[in-house]
Amino acid sequence: MATQVKLLGFWCSPFSFRVEWALKLKGVDYDYFEEDIFNKSSMLLELNPVHKKVPVLVHDNKVISESFVILEYVDETWEQNPLLPKDPYERAMARFWAKFAEEKLMDAAWAVMWSKGELKETALKESIEALEKIEGALKEKKQFQGESIGYLDLAFGWIAHWLPVLEEVGSVQILNPEKFPAITAWMAKFISHPVIKDNLPHRDKMRVYFEEHPKFASGVDK
């Protein structure tokens, strides 16, 4: 019997996209359900009662949430085109840097977009410091998968496509290409990969959404 895979996502969620990219890279068919994260469906609340967030993956009635947990499940369930490195140390490093970017860069970069004054300055400083660490790791290369897209690329994917939108909405540069040449080169490579380039939310649509949605707009510094 064919397996059944469902994904609950949100059109501009970097967390949903990393799962979609993984499924597509693995060639796994799935049914996609778009959620309204400001008016959550009963399906989402039933499937993810703990966090009530997307993405949620349902595979043969097994429910998995949290994008990094889902990536690992996908990688172990469909073994073609492996995402995590085979070597345990390399695997540990991929998880380390994925967690680092999530904890030290993501919230700070969002805060740059929608905060003002001193808060914005602090968030900008934190974002740049985190990028400096990532630049160093990327230069070393060892932690990265090489030519094929891997777990860490998917974890960092939002840096390539979402970060420039945050900069635009917040009218500030976070990632100076001259200061971060390794990240800049990686971004160009990542978003030109055939699976990635055809599966990205529209940049202008995101910009308008972040500028105009009441949840974000009040804090945006224009």
Ligand X SMILES: N[C@@H](CCC(=O)N[C@@H](CS)C(=O)NCC(=O)O)C(=O)O
Contacting positions for ligand X (CB under 6 A): 10, 13, 15, 37, 52-55, 66-68
In the bound state with ligand X, the residue whose beta carbon lies nearer, of 1 and 50, is 50
In the complex, what is the shortest distance from the CB of residue 176 to ligand X, in angstroms, rounded to a whole number? 26
In the complex, what is the shortest distance from the CB of residue 111 to ligand X, in angstroms, rounded to a whole number? 15
| Cα-based distances in Å from 3 to 20, 29, 67, 151 | 17, 9, 20, 23
In the complex, what is the shortest distance from the CB of residue 171 to ligand X, in angstroms, rounded to a whole number? 22
Residue 15's CB is within 10 A of a number of other CB atoms, namely 19
In the complex, what is the shortest distance from the CB of residue 35 to ligand X, in angstroms, rounded to a whole number? 7
In the complex, what is the shortest distance from the CB of residue 56 to ligand X, in angstroms, rounded to a whole number? 9
Query: Phi/psi of residue 171, each to 5°?
Result: 50, 50
In the bound state with ligand X, the residue whose beta carbon lies nearer, of 67 and 145, is 67
Give the CA dihedral 37, 66, 113, 119, nearest 10 degrees.
110
C-alpha 69: how far from its chain's center?
13
Give the CA dihedral 20, 51, 125, 133, nearest 10 degrees.
-50
Q: Is the Cβ–Cβ distance between 19 and 57 less than 8 Å?
A: yes
In the complex, what is the shortest distance from the CB of residue 45 to ligand X, in angstroms, rounded to a whole number? 10
In the bound state with ligand X, the residue whose beta carbon lies nearer, of 5 and 54, is 54
In the bound state with ligand X, the residue whose beta carbon lies nearer, of 137 and 206, is 206
DSSP annotation of 48 reads -
In the bound state with ligand X, the residue whose beta carbon lies nearer, of 12 and 128, is 12
In the bound state with ligand X, the residue whose beta carbon lies nearer, of 29 and 34, is 34
Contact residues for 117 (Cβ-Cβ < 8 A; gap 6+): 221
Question: 14: cis peptide before it, omega within 30°?
Answer: no
